[in-house]
Amino acid sequence: MKAQKPSFQPKRLPVYLIGLILIWFIVTFLLTPTLSMLYKVFFGKGTFSLDVVRRLFSSNRAMRSLFNSFTMAFITVITVNLVGVFQIVVTEFFEIKFTPALRLAFLTPLIYSSVSLVTGYKFVYGSRGTLTRILVTLFPAIDPYWFMGFSAVLFVHTFSMTSYHIIFVRNAMRQVDNSTIEAARALGANTFQIFIKIAMPMLKPAIYAATLMLFLMALSSNAAPFILGGKDFEMINSLIQVLNSIRRVDMAALLSLILGFASFILLLVFRSVERKGQYSSLSTTPTAFKKLKIRNKPMNVFIHLLAYILFFVYMAPVLMIVLFSFAPSKVVLTEIFPTQFTLKNYIDVLTNPVYFSPLRNSILLAFLSVIGSVAVALVSVIIISKSKSKLGTLLEFVLFIPWVIPASMLAMGLISAFSTPTPLLANRILLGSFWILPIGYMIFRLPFAVRMLSAALLGINENLEEAARSMGAGIIYTYRRIILPMLRPTILSISALTFNAMLAEYTMSALLYNINNKPLGIALSDGAMSNEPEQTARVLVYIVILMAISLVTILISNHLNSKEAKSR
């Protein structure tokens, strides 16, 4: 007897439909923009040509921006690792007084980042900033424009890109086995030998992961060099923005392509290095880590002093922004500390439609990006997990494309692909519409959602799904009633982090926004470049509201996750 071919099953029609929608999304918003940008670079005049490559590499400005970007990225890796590891050491490894306050200060980059953080640092350390006015009063010979150029950008990078150390390295430190520490101490090892010989090897995988992410962040940095770079310091993304504004799309696309290629090579290098080093505790009965005292008094004083200096660096911008957001606009750029307080700045932002629209737009855009990225990632990871062929591997690779190319390259791809009518969108032009920006946000955050959901799905017992299937439950019902509830904590965490990250996104926004969807990141950058007191006061209000929203989002996510864990 011949084996019967599987017939079409009407009950699986929703599954087929979802699969077709996913294929359309991948082809339209991942593959088409990438291929379109490649075509724009090498076939811009109708035939293959390397003329744009020759023109780019003969441009001193372009070569200088490339050199600046890679130099900044390498130095940022060093400075951020030094500061980030030190933060983890003083909050998790050594006994340091006022640790809760230090931990609070070091957590601020999670709710206060991107262009809002750069604007805040400029408000404190810039030519008309609070700290600069104090220094000029005490030392008149100091140049009020000292916080500008390479050193200013590196300063902001160093104290704003420690988020991955907070997320990855801190958790690794908490996994250090205390019994191993006690054994080393019994053999005569001092506190710092214990840290170097035992703790650091355990932290290396987490440090590698953090280093990769911060290198990519520093390489494609845009807000800091745009606001603080001045005339003498320019990085790749800043030049891409300029080239796009003067209609040199081919050169802007090529620069984006170079940035994406460098990011991909670095990803491969770091993953290779990471795989070569696997570190774990040798103890068969690990015990909870207990903080160590610094017995050397001079060193103890030095560590405490350095920790408190970092506390000031992190908290000064936050405190000054909050204080001056309540000050009359006329004194924002003149007084060292506010002596008068008012709610007028907040009333203006929240009641004037013109001032409120960037905040409203960013909340809506971030919300749409959360829905889109989580929905696409959820469908994708289910297909990947169930696929036993190379198709699943190929799908996963395609979904990770936005992770290895910078935001500017994604934006340039969308511009190139959707500036003219396309059959994939029913012959509509997406460029200039409201929807191009939330789609860009969604694509940018998609790999993060896929990675987190894939890890969570691997932790779910497959027997639960098998049991549901054996009782007659369909695919959609099984995932809706069994799998999704177990993935809910991860979905909530992804949603919170994506929402906060997109509230003040700048790089992609600068290339894709229009008058109908001007986001908060653009309003903040405009305010940071302005010397008008009223506009500066509004920017301070924006930042305070942004920090409050981000903090509330994280607290709600943590509360719902805790509640979910208790109910389970």
- Tell me how far apart the alpha carbons of residues 113 and 116 are, in angstroms, rounded to a whole number: 6
pLDDT at 279 (0 to 100): 47
Q: What is the pLDDT of residues 249-265, one digit of tens each?
A: 778 778 877 877 777 77
**Element at 510 (helix H, strand E):** helix 507-512
- What share of the chain in percent tops pLDDT 70? 84
- Tell me how far apart the alpha carbons of residues 368 and 438 are, in angstroms, rounded to a whole number: 6
Q: Which range, of 34-48, 64-78, 132-146, 274-288, averages the lowest pLDDT?
A: 274-288
Q: Which range, of 230-234, 318-322, 445-449, 479-483, averages the lowest pLDDT?
A: 479-483
Q: What values do phi and psi take at 175, rounded to 5?
A: -90, 0
**Cβ contacts of 97 within 8 Å, gap of 6 or more:** 304
Q: What values do phi and psi take at 94, rounded to 5?
A: -95, 155
pLDDT at 283 (0 to 100): 46
Query: How many other β-carbons are positioned within 10 Å of the β-carbon of residue 85?
Result: 21
Q: What is the pLDDT of residues 481-497, one digit of tens each?
A: 666 777 777 788 888 88
pLDDT at 309 (0 to 100): 93
Q: Enumerate the H helices of 400-483 as residue ranges.
A: 401-404, 407-418, 436-458, 462-470, 475-478
**Cβ contacts of 385 within 8 Å, gap of 6 or more:** 392, 454, 457, 458
Region of 427 please: left (phi>0), alpha (psi -120 to 50) or beta.
left
| Average pLDDT for 504-514 | 87
| Average pLDDT for 347-363 | 92
| Average pLDDT for 518-546 | 87
pLDDT at 306 (0 to 100): 93
Q: What is the pLDDT of residues 83-108, one digit of tens each?
A: 988 988 888 888 888 888 998 888 88
Q: What is the pLDDT of residues 460-473, one digit of tens each?
A: 656 555 555 666 55
pLDDT at 333 (0 to 100): 80
Residue 311: pLDDT band with limits 50, 70, 90: very high
State the chain's maximal CA–CA distance in angstroms.
98
Tell me if 525 sits within 8 A of 223, measured CB to CB. yes
Q: What values do phi and psi take at 395, rounded to 5?
A: -60, -45
- Tell me how far apart the alpha carbons of residues 492 and 559 are, in angstroms, rounded to a whole number: 10
10 Å CB burial of residue 264 (0-12, 13-18, 19+) is middle
Residues in the chain, how many?
568
Give the global pTM: 0.79
**Element at 157 (helix H, strand E):** helix 150-160
Residue with tokens 């811009």: 44
Tell me if 556 sits within 8 A of 153, measured CB to CB. no
- What share of the chain in percent tops pLDDT 90? 16
Query: How many other β-carbons are positioned within 10 Å of the β-carbon of residue 411?
Result: 29
Cα of first residue to Cα of last residue in the chain, in angstroms, is: 50
Output the average pLDDT for the chain.
80
